[in-house]
């Protein structure tokens, strides 16, 4: 399940995002590893007294580290910062807006048994999530195409390209719920590919819906259930 509070585009302190490597620890920040780089002319304006220190803004870079001692994965972060005034005494704090994580954070859980074409597309989409919602939605659509291919509907038949909508239609009789979800996600992806604005809330709904369908297809619960029942009845 997506924690939407950890997907906020702006924040005043670094959140405890889950490590993308071990998925057990959380990413810890160190103030000494956060660097602020003022925008063009800002530093000079502050030095000359033409701009208050509290009006500082620019870009930042930081390095986070996994809290799991067996992992300690490092994650680089880039984005924008500005200042937020806290009170009448002109106390202020930095406000951050992330543009990129490397390696990318996992917005949703992807079952280990997920085919590489699907999981690879999702990983590419995770990298775009913080910087370009429309492009991210377009790459999620690529994951839906890979799902259709996995279910037996390839993009090319007898040398001819088959539109995704037609491929999904052929799957309706055998996978009606997955197709309904895939069509909704495809439509959002089409909008992104055509340059239409995609809202973050709708994008997160696409991710959450896709996570449910991936669990249905690849988490192997049915097989594990059978093994456990047979083990109990021995």
Q: Specify if 109 maps to a domain.
A: no
Same domain, 128 and 98: no
91 and 154 housed in the same domain: no
Residue 225: its pLDDT value, please?
65
The arithmetic mean of pLDDT across residues 53-69, rounded, is 92
- Residue 110 within a domain: no
Task: Verify that 120 and 224 share a domain, yes or no.
Answer: yes
Copy the structure tokens of residue 221.
């619960």
The more confidently predicted of residues 202 and 73 is: 73
Mind listing the pLDDT tens digit for each residue in 4-31?
888 887 788 888 899 999 999 999 998 8
Residue 111 lies in a domain: no
Domain count, the chain: 2
Q: Which residue has the higher pLDDT, 230 or 180?
A: 180
- pLDDT higher than 70, residue 90: no
Same domain? 157 vs 210: yes
Position 101 scores a pLDDT of 96
* 72 is a domain residue: yes
Return contacts of 157-166, CB within 8 angstroms, 24+ apart.
none
Q: Do the Cβ atoms of 10 and 98 come closer than 8 Å?
A: no
Percent over 90 (pLDDT), the chain:
61
Three-state DSSP string of the chain: CCCHHHHCCCECCCCCCECCCCCCCEEECCHHHEEEEECCCHHHHHHCCCCCHHHCCEEEEEEEEECCCCCCCEEEEEEEEEEEECCCCCCEEEEEEEEEEECCCCCCCCCCCCCHHHHHHHHHHHHHCCCCHHHHHHHHHHHHHHHHHHCCCCCEECCEECCHHHHHHHHCCCCHHHHHHHHHHHHHHHHHHCCCCCCHHHHHHHHHHHHHHHHHHHCCHHHHHHHHHHHHCC
User: Is the pLDDT assigned to residue 224 strictly greater than 90?
Assistant: no
What was the pLDDT predicted at 27? 96
Q: Are residues 50 and 79 in the same domain?
A: yes
pLDDT of residue 6: 86
Q: Give yes or no for residue 193 having a pLDDT over 80.
A: no
Task: Mark whether 95 and 28 lie in a shared domain.
Answer: yes
Domain that holds residue 41: 4-102
| Residue 145 and residue 97 share a domain | no
Using CA atoms, how far residue 108 sits from 11, 23, 87, 159, 192, in Å, is: 21, 11, 38, 35, 20
Residues 31 and 75 grouped into a single domain: yes
pLDDT tens digits for range 100-120: 999 999 999 999 899 999 999
Residue where one domain finishes, among candidates 42, 75, 102: 102
Q: Which residue has the higher pLDDT, 11 or 143?
A: 143
What's the confidence (pLDDT) of residue 194?
59
In the prediction, which pLDDT does 222 show? 62
Of 71, 102, 133, the one marking the end of a domain is 102
Percent share of the chain, pLDDT over 70: 90
Centre a 10 Å sphere on the Cβ of residue 48 and count the other Cβ atoms it contains.
Answer: 8
């Amino acid at each position: 399940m997506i924690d939407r509070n950890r997907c906020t585009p702006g924040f005043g302190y670094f959140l405890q995002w889950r490590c993308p490597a071990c998925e057990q620890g959380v990413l810890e920040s160190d103030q000494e590893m956060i660097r602020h780089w003022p925008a063009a002319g800002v530093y000079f304006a502050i030095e000359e007294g033409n701009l208050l220190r509290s009006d500082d803004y620019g870009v930042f870079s930081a390095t986070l580290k996994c809290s799991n001692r067996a992992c300690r994965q490092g994650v680089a972060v880039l984005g924008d910062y500005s200042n937020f005034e806290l009170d009448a005494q002109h106390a202020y704090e930095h406000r951050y807006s992330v543009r990129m994580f490397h390696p990318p954070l996992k917005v949703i859980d992807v079952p280990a048994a997920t085919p590489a074409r699907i999981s690879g597309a999702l990983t590419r989409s995770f990298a775009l999530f913080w910087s370009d919602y429309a492009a991210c939605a377009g790459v999620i659509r690529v994951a839906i195409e890979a799902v259709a291919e996995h279910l037996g509907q390839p993009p090319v038949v007898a040398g001819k390209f088959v539109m995704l909508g037609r491929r999904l239609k052929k799957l309706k009789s055998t996978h009606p719920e997955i197709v309904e979800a895939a069509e909704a996600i495809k439509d959002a992806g089409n909008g992104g590919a055509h340059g239409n604005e995609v809202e973050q809330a709708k994008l997160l709904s696409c991710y959450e819906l896709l996570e449910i369908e991936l669990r249905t297809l690849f988490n192997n619960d049915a097989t594990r259930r059978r093994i456990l029942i047979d083990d109990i009845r021995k």
